[in-house]
Structures are given as structure tokens and as C-alpha cells.
Amino acid sequence: MKKTIYIITIFAFLFLVIFPLLTMVVSSFFKNGNFTLEHYLYVLNKGTLFLLLKSIGLAFAVALIATLIGGFFAFTLTKTNLPMKNIFKLIFLIPLFISPYIIAVSWVDFFIMFGNGKLFIYSPFGVIFILSLIFSPLSMIIISSSLANLSARFEEAGLMMTTNFKIITKIVLPLIKPAIISSFILVFVLSISEFSVPAFLSVNVFTTEIFTQFSAFYNYDLAVANSIVLIFICVSLLLAERYYLADAPFLSMSLKSHKVKLIELKRSKYFLIFIHFSYLSLSVIIPVLVLSIQSFQGNEAIFGKAFSLLSVNIINSVFYSFTGAIFLLFFGFVFAYISEREKIKSINLVLLITFGIPSTVLGIGLIKFFNTPILNFIYSGYWIIVIGYLGRFIFIAEKLISNTIKQIPLSFEESAKLMGASFFLRIKKVLFPLISDGLFGAFLISFIFCLGELGTTILVYPPGTSVMPIKVYTIMANAPQSLTSAMSLIVLLITLIALIFLFTGHKILTKQKWSLD
Amino acid sequence: MKNIKQILLIIVLIMSAWNCSEKSSNEVVVYTTVDQIFSDPILKDFEQETGIKIKALFDTEETKSTGVLNRLIAEKDNPQCDVFWSGDPVRAIILKNKGITIPYNSPAASDIDDNFKDKEFHWIGFSARARVLIYNTNLLKSEDVPNSIFDLIKEKYKGQVAIANPLFGTTSFHFASWFSSLNDETAKQLLTDLKTNKILIATSNGDVKKRVVQGEIACGLTDTDDAFVAKNEGAPVDYVFLDQDDLGNLIIPNTLSLIKESPNSENGKKLIDYLLSRETEAKLAISCAQMPLHKGVQVPVSIPSLDNILPMKIDYNLTAKKLEEIQTFLKSWIEEN
């Protein structure tokens, strides 16, 4: 039975995501029906290599800054008794709920409003600045989960011998090193594949080159060849990480099975609160304030108009994202189980490749594969959007779940097996209760990512329907700024409301007090 | 477990029903690159007047309005779309060259000038926009406003002019029109001089408009609808048509194409006839200052008219071909410092 589930899930994934991508990759090796490496050799020209190096440099800087910022706040919000830390944690996540493009627009408008900083924002430094603000919350989640999982006994033992500073540098940092490196790699991969922010700030990078090949030259094969180079870099990083870290967790959600040792802050807490407020101003308050100011520059009915434009899309968006998150949870769990319990690690590489493929390539691949008379029932309905979500985010869902599974000793399941429990019973009675928090976290993050997905959805969404991010973007051209800003704020609000519903639902189902630890 | 199974079953049933619920035989599918804020009300009027359900798909500025075209090309072997409503002739010509459209000579376009139609009727033009120079009235006095594209290379406008990325949209066609109406050498020299004069390359026409409105830059080349909307919103801007003494100003009609082997081609033809009507042109004139191509359409006085503008004399098909030839040059022009 177990193997049947594996086989069905793997074949479903191959059919839904891998085959469409393969059709694109295979065609990049052919020109006029003949095998060629021409498209790949093109990448070796000086200009393209320069763009590639530039992208690597930018992504490296973003990954470093985001990990430092995320790491710092993960530490203060997990390991200290800072007042209001749960509120800070929630607000810090907001940049993840707003589209990077909208954040870039509001930052440019901010600099224009103040008449200064134009040269900075329209430069690679501007790209690094904005992407670091966007991805720092992700680093914070990854590192704080790892910190929360540190058992207090390590630090308590250290405290008997030495100072807090030495404990941090000699005990805590080495123990959370896997999470720090994982955060760096994930942010690097996300930054190097980001298109909308550098394009808006007129900074030419490798992804803008891929976009140009797609959209100005309609040279799909060359665009795919370029994408493969990008994926090669990401896969190399993952392999290097695996070699270096062996089996350490990549991403993890916390399991509260032990006490977390907190550092008692005295006077320094006022200074730290000031730092937290200052950073919140940068990452959240300024973009949201700019959007609010722009919204209120319109007439008082602007929010009503913005809401009426979005209203028909709200249910669609939430429903598709919810469905997408369920699918991601199912596929993510099965793949994570195969990877962790059956030790078939190569599955991670396949998932990373799907993650590294640009959203446009995935979109075109899905059209070419599913837009046939036989599969039209999938292509012409909303299923194609859900498949797009699956291809885009399965890597993240699987990683989140596999690290939760990794933390549960195999012996628990083996004991149940000795007692005669079937595979399903072991999963239901032993594994699920222990990883339910992790599964919920994976579901939540998948839901948020699905809700904001644009790149693939724009290419496959059925005519006559729409989802919230697409509506905001299609209205954006030539609509008053106040209208698009109001729509962005409403999307943010709806995302927050949906999250509150999900948290409440989780609380009722598990009858637990929910916290952000 | 039993409950979970039941919930999952209900979800699957609802999803399947949702997937199939919106199918209708009396419908028409239209893909458009025209801004949703202008095209959607017209499409809704069609739906109301004919009872034919419209399924529309719009493009985004973030993808430089290329999403719809990419999708039409990818869907070539099993078309889902009936009508392609483009904001410019270039995309319609690309689709014709890729064998994605079929001829349809709509009777509603009988009095539209042949220059605005494909010779084989793969596309028909209507409601035109023009490329204009939008300028910030706080930064440029009316006597200092450039009159010609060649004025933009003068020292006094150094670093003061913006254009959108010429690899995309109407700006790409504008550049190709210089190559097509001047000669290659003159056009290349013009571009070199513009670069020397530190012309700013913005991400889109909307971005050009925004930078001029915000006073970040004195003037820029954009489309009439962008300039008209900015002016209507009370921004300190105005716009002029360039080269009215000699070269003429580029006119860009909307175009309509019928997709080959489309699922609802008869309804597609009805939609094309509707969009080509005088009434539609009048509505587009009011909403976004588009100039009617039918003679005698009543429009407000503030809307520019083709009767008062010297148009650039170009062949749209040849200019689109020219664009293909110069794209690599344009890419390197953008990339050079």
C-alpha cells in the first residue's frame, strides 16, 4: 500500500509538472529539427557572462544582508525577553505578504517624494536594498525556528563555565550554523531568480536577459537555455551545502518539546526596542505609509472602487490558494517522507530544479503540455493554476515538512510497527500528531506564496476569471495611482484576515493556544 | 479519519463543479493588450447589448504587455482565443507571420483608410493613439518645448528626456518607424546622439509618464492615452505632437485579429464588428483620447483629431519587418553606457 501511494504520487508529479518542463528543456537542444548546443554556447558570450556574474554578485549580497538581519532579529525575538516580541514577529512578516514589485514601486515613490536618493534606488544598490528588506523575514523564520529548537540544557551547562557572549559564539552559533547556511542559500536562490524588482529599477541582470529573449525576441529555446544555467548554479549550491552539512536540517518549523533558554535583558532592552522600531519603519511602515498616502490622495470613494474591482476575485484567490496549499501539503509530505524515511535524497534535486525554473518557462511549458484537445478539461479550468502553484512551490513545502519529519526519531514509528500498527495507523497516530505544527506551518507558507503568485498564473489563468495579484497588475496600467495603491492595501488586508482565519482554525482543531514560536 | 475523507471528497466535488460551472456555448474569448481600465467597459457593453458572454484576458505592465502574445503563440496548436485586440499593429503582424490569425474583412471597417488595414485583412485598425512628447509644465515653458525628435539631441535637453525600453511595446514600433521613414544611417546616428545626450531609458510608457508627472525629468516620449490620463488627473503636464512640419507624428491604431481555428469564430466576428463601430471609437475617444479612424465620429473638443495632425507616412507591415531587423541593434544600444 505504501509503495502504491509513492508510485501514484511520483507519477502524478511527473505528469503534472516534470513532463511540461521537460518538453521545454528538450526543445532547447534542437533547432529546425536538428540537435544543437547553440543556445547553450550563446551563454558563453562576454555580455551574458557579465550579466550572470552581476546576478550572482547581487544575489550573494542580498543573501548575506538578509541572513544577517534575519539572524539578528531571530535571536532577539527568540532568545531574549524583549517586550512585545510576538507583535514584532508578526509585523516583521508583512513584507512577505506584499508583492516585491509593489514594494519596489512604493520605495521609488518614497525617494521621489523626498527629492533625494534617486541615484541610489535606480542602481544595483537599490535592488540589494529592496530585496534584502523583502527576504529578511524569511531568514528570520528559518533561523528563529532553529533557535527555538535549541535545548536550554546546552546553554545552561555553558553558563556554569562562562559568559553569555561566549555561549552565543561557542555554543549557539555552531548549533544553528545549518539554519544560517540554509537561509543564505534559499535567499540566494530566490534573489537570483527575481525579475520584477531589477526590471522596475532598470538594472539589467540575468533574469531580465531571459525575459528579453522570451518577450522581445520570442526565442523560447534560448530563454530556456539561459534558465538551465541559472538552475545549474542553484543546484551546485545545494550540492555544496549537502556535502558540507551532511544531514543537517535545511528549513525547520519549531517543535515545542523543550524549554528555550531566554537571555534576561536589562537596560539594553530600550535600545533594542528602538532598533526594532527603526527596522520596522524601513521594512514595513514606509512602504505601507506610501501606499496609504497615495490611496488617500484619491477621492474618498477610492477604497470602495478598489474593493468592488477586487471583490469578485477574493473568493477565487483564497479558494485557489487554499486548494494549492492542500496539494502542496500532500505532495510535500509524500516527497518528504520518501526523502527522510526511505533515504531517496535525489528527489530534493528534482524539486530544486522545478523551483529554479523561471515562472514564465513553467507557464509556457504548462500551456504547451496541457493545451491539447485531450487535456483541455485541465487547461481551460482553474486546475491549471493549482498545477502552476505545485510546480512553483513544491520545493519549499517539501523542505519545510522534511525537516519536521527529520526531528522525529524513526524509532517511534518502528515501535508502533513492532506492535503491529499498519503504515496508515503509524502515520495517523504517531507521525501526524508529532509534526502537526510543522505541517500547519508548511500549509501557511504555501498558502501565502500561492496567494501572491503572478509569473506563472498570468500565463495560464482561464479567460473571464482572475485572481487578486493579476487584477492589481492589469488595472495598474493607466489607472490612477490612488486606485492601485488602495487595491494593494486591500490585498494585504485580505491576506492578513485569511491568515487570522487559518490560525484560528488551527487553534480550534488542535485546541492549543497559538503562538509564533 | 472518516471525517477527513468526507471533507476531502466534498472539496474535490466542489472543485470539479467549479471547474465546469462557467462553460457556455454563447460566448466569445478575447485577449487584449489594451489597458483593462479602458477595454473592460467596452467589452461589458458588448456583453450587455448582444447577450454573448465575454471571457476576457488582460495583460500587465509588469510583463510589458507581452504575456498575452506569448500565450497566443504557445496556444497556437489548440487555440482558446477568438479575437485578439491589440493596442498596436506590431503584435498583430507577429501573429500573422506565425500563422496564428486568419483574414476577416469586417463590413464595419469599410470606410477606414486602407493604410490602417492589413492587405490580406489579418488585422484591421481602429481608434488610433499617437506617440507624443509629454512635458512637465513646471520644468519647461511652452516656448522651450521641443518640436522635433531631432530637438531632443540638443545640449539644453541633456539628461532631461525619457523613453521606455525600445525592445517592447509601442516604443519599439516608434524606433522602427524612424528606421523606416528616415534611412538606417540617419536613424542610427539619431539613436547614438540621443544616447550621448543621456536619454533616460524607463521601464515602460507608464513609467515615463510617472517620472515626468513627478518632475523627476522634464519630458518624455509616450502614448496619447498616458499623457491624456495624466493631464486629466490634474498633473502639471501637457503634450505636443512632434515633427509637424516634415517627418510627421507616428500614429498607432488599435488592431483586431481573428484567431485561426478559434472555438467561437462566429461570435468572434460579431465582436470585431462591434469594436470597429463608430460608437466604440467615440467611447474610446472619451475615455482615453484615442482618435477615431471613421470619418465624422463625434468627439469632445479636447480630443485630438487626425484631421489636425500630420501623420508619419509609413507602411505598418514593412515597419514591423524593420523592427525584427533592428532588434539586436536596439538591444546593444540599450546596453551600451
HSE-CB for A158 with a 13 A CA cutoff: 16
pTM over 0.80: yes
Main-chain dihedrals φ then ψ at residue B239, nearest 5 degrees: -145, 155
Ordered by start, the domain boundaries in chain B are 27-128+252-303, 129-250+320-335
Q: Assess contact for A194 and A131: CB atoms under 8 A.
A: yes
Are residues B313 and B249 in contact, defined by beta-carbon separation less than 8 angstroms? no
Among candidates A376, A463, A479 on the partner chain, residue whose Cβ is nearest the Cβ of B55: A463
- The Cα B101–Cα B269 span in angstroms is 13
Question: Chain A within 8 Å of B251 (Cβ-Cβ)?
Answer: no
* Distance, CA of B162 to CA of B208 (rounded, Å): 6
B331 touches chain A (CB under 8 A): yes
Q: Give residue A303's pLDDT.
A: 87
Radius of gyration of chain B measured on its C-alpha atoms: 22
Q: What percent of chain B has pLDDT over 90?
A: 69
Cβ neighbours of B203 in A, within 8 Å: 199-200, 202
Superfamily of domain A1-32+298-517: MetI-like (1.10.3720.10)
Residue type, B329: F
Question: Scanning the structure block, which residue is given the C-alpha cell 482553474?
Answer: A382
Q: How many CA atoms lie within 13 A of A423 on its CB side?
A: 9
Q: How many angstroms away from the CA of B17 is the closest CA of chain A? A: 10
Show the cell assigned to B296: 465624422
Chain A, 117-156: which have a CB under 8 Å from a chain B CB? Answer: 118
CA distance B66 to chain A (A): 6
| Number of C-beta neighbours around residue A114 at 10 A | 9
The verdict on A327 touching B (C-beta cutoff 8 Å) is no
- Which chain B residues are Cβ-neighbours of A216 within 8 angstroms? 66, 167-168, 172, 327, 331
Q: Residue B305: name the closest of B251, B245, B231 by CA.
A: B251
Give the closest-approach CA distance of A468 to chain B in angstroms: 13
Domains A1-32+298-517 and A58-296 equal at CATH topology level:
yes
Say what the pLDDT of residue A253 is: 46
Task: Tell me which architecture the domain covering A58-296 has in CATH.
Answer: Orthogonal Bundle (1.10)
Among B36, B206, B335, select the one facing A474 at the smallest CB separation: B36
- Interface contact flag, B167 A212, Cβ < 8 Å: yes
Q: Is B68 an 8 Å CB contact of chain A?
A: no
In chain A, where the domains are located: 1-32+298-517, 58-296
Residue B86 β-bridge partners? B255
Is pLDDT of B134 > 90? yes
| CATH number among 3.40.50.2300, 3.40.190.10, 3.10.20.340, 3.40.1390.20, domain B129-250+320-335 | 3.40.190.10
Residues B150/B328, Cβ–Cβ less than 8 Å = no
Answer whether residue B19 shows pLDDT above 80. Answer: no
Here the cell at position A498 is: 485569511
With left for phi above 0 and alpha for psi between -120 and 50, is residue B61 left, alpha or beta?
alpha
Q: 3-state DSSP helix/strand/coil percent for chain A, to nearest 5? A: 75, 0, 20
Residues in CB range of A511: below 8 A, 6 or more apart: none
- Smallest CA-to-CA distance from B209 within B294, B142, B132 is with B132
A186: closest CA of chain B, how far (Å): 24
User: Residues B120-137: what's their mean pLDDT?
Assistant: 96
Residues of A in Cβ contact (< 8 Å) with B22:
464-465
Residue from B59, B77, B78 to probe the interface with A (highest A Cβ count within 10 Å): B78
Residues B235, B241 contacting (CB under 8 angstroms): no
Distance from CA of A473 to the nearest CA of B (A): 5
Residue closest to B65 by CA, chosen among A295, A312, A477, A394: A477
User: What does the DSSP 8-state code read for residue A97?
Assistant: G
- Under CATH, what is the fold of the domain B27-128+252-303? D-Maltodextrin-Binding Protein; domain 2 (3.40.190)
Interface test with A, best of B39, B62, B232 (most A CBs within 10 A): B62
The answer to whether the Cβ–Cβ distance between A372 and B78 falls below 8 Å is yes
Residue with cell 535600545: A271
The answer to whether the complex's ipTM is over 0.95 is no
Identify whether the C-beta of residue A167 lies closer than 8 Å to the C-beta of residue A158. Answer: yes
Give the per-residue pLDDT at A148: 77
| For residue B139, pLDDT beyond 90 | yes
A97 Cβ contact list (under 8 Å, min separation 6): A448, A451, A452, A492, A495, A496
Contact B78 A373 (CB under 8 A): yes
Check CB contact under 8 Å for B81 and A323: no
Whether the CB-CB separation of A139 and A176 falls below 8 Å is answered with no
Query: CB of B19 within 8 Å of any CB in chain A?
Result: yes
What SS3 state is found at A4?
helix
Q: Which of B70, B203, B210 sits opposite A459 (nearest CB)?
A: B70
CB pairs under 8 A between A and B: 129
Question: Is residue B248 a contact partner of residue B139, using CB atoms and an 8 Å limit?
Answer: no
- Tell me how many degrees the CA angle B158-A201-A195 measures, rounded to the nearest 5: 145
Give the confidence band of B5 by pLDDT, cuts at 50, 70, 90. Answer: low
Backbone angles phi, psi at B220, to 5 degrees: -165, 160
Q: What are phi and psi of A467, to 5 degrees?
A: -125, 165
Establish how many alpha carbons lie within 13 A of residue A382's alpha carbon, considering only the half-sphere containing its beta carbon.
25
Beta pairing, strands A34-35 & A30-31 = antiparallel
One-character DSSP codes across A161-173: TS-HHHHIIIIIH
CB spacing of A216 vs B168 below 8 angstroms: yes
Q: B188: which residues sit within 8 A by CB, 6+ positions away?
A: B329
Nearest to B331 among A199, A212, A458 (CB): A212
Write the CA distances from A275 to A86, A135, A139, A268, B57, integer angstroms. 16, 18, 18, 11, 46
How far apart CA B131 and CA B147 sit, in angstroms, is 13
* Mean local confidence (pLDDT), B98-108: 96
Q: Given this model, what pLDDT does residue A302 score?
A: 86
Among A252, A304, A290, smallest CA distance to A105 is for A290
Report chain B residues whose CB lies below 8 A from the CB of A428.
Answer: 1
Collect all residues of chain B within an 8 Å Cβ-Cβ radius of residue A196: 62
Per-residue pLDDT of chain A (517 residues; tens, 9 = 90+): 788 888 999 999 999 999 999 988 888 898 888 888 888 888 778 888 899 999 999 999 999 999 999 999 998 998 888 888 888 888 888 888 787 888 888 898 888 887 777 889 999 999 999 999 999 998 998 888 778 767 677 777 777 777 777 877 777 788 888 788 888 988 998 898 888 889 888 898 988 888 888 778 888 888 888 888 888 888 888 777 766 665 555 444 444 455 666 778 777 888 999 999 999 999 999 999 999 998 887 677 788 888 988 888 888 899 999 999 999 999 999 999 999 888 888 888 888 888 878 787 888 889 889 999 899 889 988 899 999 999 999 998 998 888 778 878 888 888 988 988 888 889 888 888 888 878 888 898 899 889 888 878 888 889 888 888 888 888 877 778 888 889 888 988 888 888 888 878 777 766 654 444 4
| Residue A321 contacts B where some CB pair is shorter than 8 Å | no
Give me the pLDDT at residue A124, please.
Answer: 96
